Amino acid sequence: MTERYSRQTFLGANAMEFLREADVAIIGVGGGGSHVAQQLAHIGVGHVQLYDPDRVDESNLNRLVGAVAADATTRELKVRVAERMIRGINPEVNTQVFPSKWQLAAPRLRESDVIVSCVDSFAARQDIEVTARRFLIPLIDIGMDVHLVDNKPQIAGQVILSLPGGPCMKCLGFLNDEALRQEADQYGAAGDRPQVIWTNGVLASVAVGILADLVTGWRDQRLCGEYIHYDGNTHELSNSPRLQYAPAKCIHFPLEDIGEPRL
């Protein structure tokens, strides 16, 4: 154990070895994903894959961790910004960048130990979860939105841990056919979703905490899934009751019907 990680020894005697060997994919390295990338570098995750085809523009600078004004001017790739940040924090991290849709690099993605999804749409989440279930990869999904209630903005977000065999996002009621249909009908009409850096930071920190537990087992508790709700107006995190009432075994991706050897 080096001095660098001396403050996280409580994670366990072999925790740093587990973290150094961990291979984590981040899909979407915008507002939420950039926070996740930063924290993975800090805690010592050894292998990080970055997936995002987008480039930095001025509207990203209110929330994109690691980005500077020049990145918006040159339209730098978001994955390159995240890669630069990770290497600046911890040059020992093996970072791979994929400036394209993740589906084009699926053979590499399926080698992941954990996938962290930081995407904006229900359809994108569904596609990622299908792949994660197919290859028996734990998935952590984060997201936020802002809604008007009585003409006042209400900030909400969620962190969901989807484990093979356990309740999926459809079991939890987060994804459903009606939401997917409405999203498809409104495609391109709603504009960009509201995003602020502090909500993204809270959700990313919770996600990294869950990931650290998955990799090191420091809490000594068997995880069957997580659904954590964030109220951005009261700054409260709470366990969603949807997890309590979800089926213990996934009815959409039964464990006996999924799984494919990793290449």
Question: With a threshold of 0.85, does the pTM exceed it?
Answer: yes
The set of residues, in sequence order, having a beta carbon less than 8 Å from that of 249 and lying 6+ positions away, is 165, 166, 167, 255
Distance, in Å, from the CA atom of 42 to the CA atom of 217, rounded to the nearest integer, reads 18
pLDDT at 204: 98
pLDDT at 188: 47
Q: Pick the range with the lowest mean pLDDT from 25-29, 152-156, 188-192, 199-203.
A: 188-192
CA atoms lying within 13 Å on the CB side of residue 59: 7
Mean pLDDT of 4-14: 92
pLDDT at 74: 98
Q: What mean pLDDT is reported for the chain?
A: 91
Share of the chain above pLDDT 90, in %: 77
Mean pLDDT of 44-56: 98
pLDDT at 88: 98
Mean pLDDT of 83-89: 98
Mean pLDDT of 143-170: 92
pLDDT at 189: 45
Domain positions in the chain are 3-257
Distance, in Å, from the CA atom of 231 to the CA atom of 63, rounded to the nearest integer, reads 19
Q: Pick the range with the lowest mean pLDDT from 33-37, 46-50, 122-126, 253-257.
A: 253-257
Indicate if the pLDDT at residue 129 is higher than 70.
Answer: yes
pLDDT at 263: 53
Share of the chain above pLDDT 70, in %: 93
Mean pLDDT of 8-37: 96
pLDDT tens column, 210-221:
999 999 999 887
pLDDT at 1: 59
Mean pLDDT of 152-157: 91
CATH tag, 3-257: 3.40.50.720
Indicate if the pLDDT at residue 225 is higher than 70.
Answer: yes
